[in-house]
Structure 1
Amino acid sequence: MAVCDPVADMLARLRNAHQGLHAHVNVPVSKMKADLARILKEEGFIADYEVGERDMVITLKYAGGKPVINGAKKISTPGRRVYVGVGDIPRVRNGLGICVLSTSRGILEGNRAATEKVGGELLCEIW
């Protein structure tokens, strides 16, 4: 089945798997979703991910039996793209969360994009 917004689909799968306390979740693979999974692993929101030929298996992370990802919000949608400059990159939950941007230098976490002085399309916020 074709998906209009693959990043929103990935976030929904993560949210649903966390609610069911699953250890792993399968996501159809794409370069953007693999980069998003890399950022989530670097920031400590997921335990690991493995990219296969057609699917990506994400190992979820729990702390004290509760999911590490408390929430995820898709900002830019196919019908309404949201772009931010380097000075407008938001802080998520007073620094407890991250925002993910699609920039000219690839998919970057908000703080790294600000450090590299590059803005772009605001994909999502995760806390």
Structure 2
Amino acid sequence: MKNYFWNMFANIKNGQLAKRAFVHQKRKRLCEAFLKILWTEGFILGYKISRDDPDSIKIFLKYVSGKPAINTIKLISKPGRRIHYSIKQIWKIDSNEVFIIFSTSKGLKTIKDCKKLNIGGEAFILIN
């Protein structure tokens, strides 16, 4: 189910290492929700749905002074090992130093949103 999600992480990571302006990704709702978070937090320049192929998304990568805006993407929860955090565990994490995206019952949320809404969830990704 989440193969597209893991592939998108690899595409973004490899695209930034190769200094590409954009990468293409298969269009899925989960991927779009993740891209929306990255865009609002300033990690990518944006994304758009391809005119030629409506099942494809074009992701515009962001660079700051020639260096990628996303230094590292670490997958916390993997298909073979799911890692869930309760709200008590989330409050122990310093949200100023770490940017984590959680899958919650209310959709994909950042660590700051989880603290505001007082909900826990499955930790997907850690971005530095």
> So what's the TM-score if we normalise by structure 2?
0.88
Contact 1:86 1:117 (C-alpha < 8 Å) held by counterparts: yes
- Sort the Cα spacing of 1:25 and 1:96 in 2 relative to 1 into closer, same or farther, 3 A: farther
Say which SS state the counterpart of residue 95 (structure 1) adopts: coil
The residue number in structure 2 matching 1:115 is 116
Structure 1 residue ranges (4+ consecutive) displaced by more than 6 angstroms after TM superposition: none
The residue number in structure 2 matching 1:106 is 107
Identity %: 30
The residue number in structure 2 matching 1:79 is 80
Q: Could you list the per-position Cα deviations for residues 19-58 of structure 1 after superposition, in whole angstroms to 9, with x for gaps in the alignment?
A: 1110001011111111110000011100101134211111
RMSD: 1.8
CA distance in 2, matches of 1:96, 1:46: 19
Equivalent AA in structure 2 for residue 44 of structure 1: G
Q: Could you list the per-position Cα deviations for residues 43-79 of structure 1 after superposition, in whole angstroms to 9, with x for gaps in the alignment?
A: 1100101134211111000110110000001111111
**For this pair of structures, how many residues does the alignment match?**
124
Q: How does 1:29-68 map to 2 (within 5 A)?
A: 29-52=27-50, 53-68=54-69
Unmatched 5+ residue regions in structure 1? Answer: none
